[in-house]
Amino acid sequence: MHYLTARLHARMGNRRMAVKHLRMAAALGFTPAVPFNKIHWGNDAAFDAMRTEPEFRVLNQELKRYERPIQRSRVAFVLEEQGLEPEGIAYDELLNCFYLGSGARKKIIKVSPQGVATDFTGGQDGLDTVLGLHVDPIRRWLWVCSQTEASTDVFRYDLVSGSLLKRYSLSRLEGNHSFNDLAIHPSGDVYITESIRDDIYLISHTRDRLELFFSREPFVSFNGVAVSDDGESLFVADALIGIYKVDLVSRDCVLLTHEPLFDSSNVDGLVFFRDHLYAVQPGLNTVCRFGLNKDRSRITGRSVFEQNSVRLNWPTTGVIAGNSFYFIADTQGDSNGGHAVVMKTDLD
């Protein structure tokens, strides 16, 4: 919005206002360094009349500061198989291994911390495009979001045998639905985001069936979801708006507020850990951690782990493993000949 406002002012000749909003746009992450910004202040004809002015040349150097990469993470492993295009990642502390879902190959792989991968499941059970997935460490289950042209589904697998225990489905023919990600409550309840109608679904550990839990305006695009450690709150990322907190008893919903100097939208992967939210923001080419206030209604600060670095290319989701945050940094493997890259940041 700041960028669009800047170009409008530039077209109208309001150059002071154009400069003001360009600065805000860049500070919030709208820079040429983000691969998806094909049109930006560097090549947009709206700013041509300003380019020869001394003030714009000074501004040009100032804005370039926001493009500089932040590199505070390191490569954890690179997947040997090409073209996997993983979307989700989960971790099993008992077996010390990761699970990644391949949207392109319609399967789930099991990966050691060194990156050695074996197929966990794929090509059977009706599993198709794999999205979010999470481990239930108590019950030893792997929960998976998937979808076909006909249905959107949640699969529950046995972690030991790899066998399918149950499939929960919504027809895509009777209504446009798309399960995206899920989170596991300490009780065993599973909350699932649906990103077309922007609803939250529930699979209760007692009733064991798919139920609509939350449906309310004015959401735009639900994506990542996380449960607080105490089980009181659900955090849901609306990719175009920001992060919401839902009280799991009252079902009251509030948008987390924050200072206007950073952006909490564009979140794909979302993880709650020790009163912080860990967020992967592909639209900003950023992986970061948000601090929360006491009642978890406000984001109090942001720590950037990785931004605009050479390894970061359409990052998707992450997971806590031990004292580190692991995240899929290069889903397409563009920086590694089609081999997807997982990176890690050691936590304080």
Q: Which three-class secondary structure state does DSSP give residue 25?
A: helix
Name residue 98's amino acid. Answer: F
The token duo for 36 is 């998806």
pLDDT at 104: 86
Give 246's strand partners. 234, 253
Q: How far is it, in rounded angstroms, from Cα 141 to Cα 307?
A: 33
Sequence-distant (≥ 6) Cβ neighbours of residue 37 within 8 angstroms:
30, 31
Domain range 71-346, its CATH number among 1.10.260.40, 3.40.50.300, 2.120.10.30, 3.40.50.620: 2.120.10.30
Name residue 266's amino acid. Answer: N
pLDDT in tens, the chain (348 residues): 899 999 999 999 999 999 999 998 888 888 887 777 788 888 999 999 998 888 888 888 888 888 899 999 999 999 999 999 999 999 999 999 999 999 889 999 999 998 999 999 876 788 999 999 999 999 999 999 999 889 999 999 999 999 999 999 999 877 788 999 999 999 999 999 999 888 999 999 999 999 999 997 678 889 999 999 999 999 999 988 999 999 999 999 999 999 887 889 999 999 999 999 999 999 899 999 999 999 999 999 999 999 999 889 889 999 999 999 999 999 988 877 889 999 999 997
Q: What are phi and psi of 81, to 5 degrees?
A: -75, 130
Q: Could you tell me the residue ranges of all domains in the chain? A: 2-68, 71-346
Q: How far is it, in rounded angstroms, from Cα 25 to Cα 48?
A: 18
pTM of the model as a whole: 0.90
**Is 117 in contact with 86 (CB distance < 8 Å)?**
no
Q: Is 257 left (phi over 0), alpha (psi -120 to 50) or beta?
A: beta
Q: 130, 137, 242: which is closest to 185 by C-alpha?
A: 137
pLDDT at 109: 96
